[in-house]
Structures are given as C-alpha cells and as structure tokens.
C-alpha cells in the first residue's frame, strides 16, 4: 500500500511534504515551550515552502531539481540556520551559500543564452559567457544585499560574522558563477550535453510559453518535440497520419488530401511546417498505423503524392524527413513560400488554398483573383 502511495508522488512532493511535516512538528514544540523566535521562523519557513507551488500557479515550472534546491535553501537558512543555530558554524554557511550560488548562476546563464538566441544579444561565445558570469555574480551580490537588509531590519543573523563573511560569500558566488560559465562556454562553443545545458533544456521544455528559442535542443528530435509542445499555429500544423483514417483503420484518400491541402496553403502564403503522426492536442501517435513496409516506402509515397497532386516543379520548396520520437516515428514537412501560385489537383479539378491564421481555406472566384494579383506579382 505504501509503495503505491509513494509511486504516485513525485520526488519534489515527497521532499516538500517531509519539510512541511518537520516544520509543523517544530511549530507545535515551540508553541508548547513558549519559544517565540522558533515559532515565528517555523511559520515563515512553512509559508515559504509554497513558493514553488506559487510559481507553478503562474505557469512557471522550475523543475523538480530546482524545486528541491529552493526548499533546501529555505529550510536550511530560515529554520536550521536561524532556529537551530547552524549558522554558528561557518561550514553551514559555506555549504548553503554554495548551493544558492550555483542555483543563481544557472539562472543567470539561462537568461543570457536565451537573450542571445532570441536575437537580443549578438556576441561571441567568450563574450556571452563573460556576460553570464557578470549577471550571475550580480544576482549573488543582490542576495547578499537582501541578507544584510533582513539582518538590519528584523535582527536576523544571516550574516552573523559581519563584513568578513560577506566578502567570503561574494567569493563563493564568484567561484560558482565561474564554474557554471565554464560549462556554458564549452556548450556554446562545442555543443554536446552537459550538466548545465541539460538543466537549461529541461527548463525550456517545461516552460515553452517563456522560451521560444530552440537552439539549446541540439538534436533534431528534441527540436521537433519542443515545437510540438508549443502547439499548432499559423505556421505549424499537426496531422495524425499520412493515409490511414484512425477511426476506421482503413486507408482513406481524404486523409492524404488533408495534408496536401496544407502543403499547398503554406506554399501560397508564407511557408510553414506540418508534423505528421501527432494529434491536434500534441499527443505523439507515430506513423505505425499507416503500415508502410519501410521508411523508404513511406517517403517514396509522400514524394509521389506531391508530384501527382501538386507538381514536381514545386518539389524544391518542399522538404520532408522522418524523425524518431519516444520510440515512434513522425514525418516533418517543411514548406517554403512559392514564387508561383500553386494548385492542388484533385479529381480532375484544380483547387487553390491559403493559410488564414491557423486555418487552411480554399479560395475561388474573385477572392482567388484578388489574392493572386497581390501575392504573385
């Protein structure tokens, strides 16, 4: 029974609830023994454990690793450090400040690299990492200012050894910022996954609404997975299959034409991407139900679809490739804007499609004439 309970709880939830339980026990003990300082800090620390949940409510997912780090810093500084007197030993302050400094440095590096990828910074790898070091060190300095303010206003002992320990803490911040920056430099210079880049990738995966960048997801499959997490839009559309109707499990020409219509629409507007093997809600289905004997046969079939119903002259503006994701295969079709109008040949008729926001629409009559006269001059 206990195994079933723990299997449903994440590591972050277990750590969070364990710390809250310890604080509740300490609160009761402090109340019964009339220890007002311990009582106050128990309440403050308990409320502070809800910070990760508050961030999640704001749709900011810090990830389980950063969540645990935040909780450890809160419990270690506000309770163990202040109430239990761990700050009386310099070793505790060094340990806690090292953990906090590493976390702040990771945040600093993530901010700088994200700004660079978003086009707001244009610099060499060395200058990027130098800026990352500066931002990380600045965050550490702000942390020290916050501690000094709390000590001065509320009488805490976060800097119980005075200015000497402040200088010591700044040195720890500088070392942590340097270590993280070195990891970041080798990643930006040579690529490859390391501890730092792995953290950045996970944060970006968890917060697509904050990070539009895909640079740090170095493998094509990771880039596509990140695109899928962003959902459909004017230049991105999902299709469940190439030719199979998933409701009847039968080959259906209408399914093929649904993809071809979107391809034509992208060619006639500003281009875009189709990911086949993904449902509308972003669930990765794969292409196994299309039942092609091999990947080469699948790609040949798509190529023949394009040649037969769109035209081989437009093939240079269409690129497609298979990618493995989560033990399944998806097809990514990239379309560039065509310099000439493109029609879809279907049942001896030619149909003209364009994109209107996230939708594919058919134009005919005066609407078709007006669009072509403005778009293709």
Q: What is the pLDDT of residues 281-319, one digit of tens each?
A: 889 999 999 989 999 999 999 999 999 999 999 999 999
Closest CA to 166 of 190, 189, 181, 148: 148
Q: Which domains does the chain have, with CATH numbers?
A: 2-206 (no CATH), 220-375 (3.30.950.30)
Packed helices 11-32 and 63-74: angle between N→C axes, nearest 10 degrees:
10
Is 332 strand, coil or helix? strand
pLDDT digits (tens, 9 = 90+) for 108-134: 666 666 666 555 555 566 776 677 777
Is 116 strand, coil or helix? helix
CB 314 within 8 A of CB 341: no
Packed helices 63-74 and 90-117: angle between N→C axes, nearest 10 degrees:
150
Bigger pLDDT: 153 vs 359: 359
∠ CA 22-99-70, rounded to 5°: 45
Most confident of 10-14, 202-206, 352-356: 352-356
Does 227 score more than 60 pLDDT? yes
Average pLDDT over residues 220-245: 87
Q: What percent of the chain has pLDDT over 70?
A: 61
Bigger pLDDT: 220 vs 296: 296
Q: Is 105 left (phi over 0), alpha (psi -120 to 50) or beta?
A: alpha
1 pLDDT band, cuts 50/70/90, is very low
Q: What percent of the chain has pLDDT over 90?
A: 30
Going along 259-340, which residue ranges are E strands? 272-276, 318-325, 328-335
Packed helices 11-32 and 36-48: angle between N→C axes, nearest 10 degrees:
160
Lowest mean pLDDT among 11-20, 244-253, 274-283: 11-20
Residues 6+ apart with CB under 8 A from 314: 267, 306, 338, 340, 342
Residues 6+ apart with CB under 8 A from 185: 125, 126, 129
pLDDT digits (tens, 9 = 90+) for 2-54: 444 444 345 667 777 787 887 788 788 778 877 776 677 677 777 877 777 77
Q: What is the pLDDT of residue 279?
A: 92
């Amino acid at each position: 029974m206990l195994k079933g309970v723990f299997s449903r709880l994440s590591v972050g939830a277990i750590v969070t609830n364990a710390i809250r339980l310890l604080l509740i026990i300490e609160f009761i003990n402090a109340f019964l023994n009339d220890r007002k300082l311990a009582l106050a800090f128990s309440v403050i620390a308990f409320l502070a454990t809800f910070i990760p949940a508050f961030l999640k409510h704001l749709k900011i997912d810090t990830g389980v690793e950063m969540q645990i780090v935040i909780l450890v810093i809160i419990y270690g500084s506000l309770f163990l450090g202040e109430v239990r007197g761990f700050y009386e030993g310099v070793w505790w302050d060094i340990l806690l400040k090292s953990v906090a400094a590493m976390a702040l440095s990771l945040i600093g590096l993530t901010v700088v690299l994200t700004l660079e990828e978003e086009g707001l910074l244009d610099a060499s790898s060395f200058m990027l990492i130098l800026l990352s070091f500066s931002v990380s060190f600045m965050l550490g300095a702000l942390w020290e200012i916050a501690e000094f303010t709390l000590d001065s206003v509320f009488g805490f002992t976060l800097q119980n050894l005075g200015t000497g320990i402040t200088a010591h803490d700044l040195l720890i911040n500088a070392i942590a910022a340097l270590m993280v920056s070195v990891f970041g430099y080798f990643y930006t210079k040579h690529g490859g996954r390391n501890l730092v880049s792995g953290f950045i990738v996970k944060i970006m995966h968890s917060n697509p609404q904050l990070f539009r960048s895909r640079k740090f997801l170095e493998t094509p499959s990771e880039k596509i997975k990140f695109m899928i997490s962003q959902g459909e839009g004017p230049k991105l559309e999902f299709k469940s299959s190439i030719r199979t109707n998933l409701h009847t499990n039968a080959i259906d020409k209408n399914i093929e034409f649904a993809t071809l219509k979107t391809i034509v629409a992208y060619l006639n507007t500003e281009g875009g991407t189709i990911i086949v093997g993904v449902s509308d809600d972003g669930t990765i289905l794969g292409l196994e139900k299309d039942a092609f004997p091999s990947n080469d046969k699948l790609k040949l079939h798509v190529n023949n679809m394009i040649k037969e119903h769109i035209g081989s002259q437009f093939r240079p503006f269409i690129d497609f490739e298979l990618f493995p994701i989560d033990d399944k295969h998806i097809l990514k079709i990239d379309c560039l804007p065509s310099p000439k109008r493109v029609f879809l040949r279907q049942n001896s008729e030619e149909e003209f499609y364009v994109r209107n926001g996230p939708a594919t629409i058919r134009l005919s009559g005066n609407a078709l004439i007006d669009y072509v006269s403005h778009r293709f001059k």
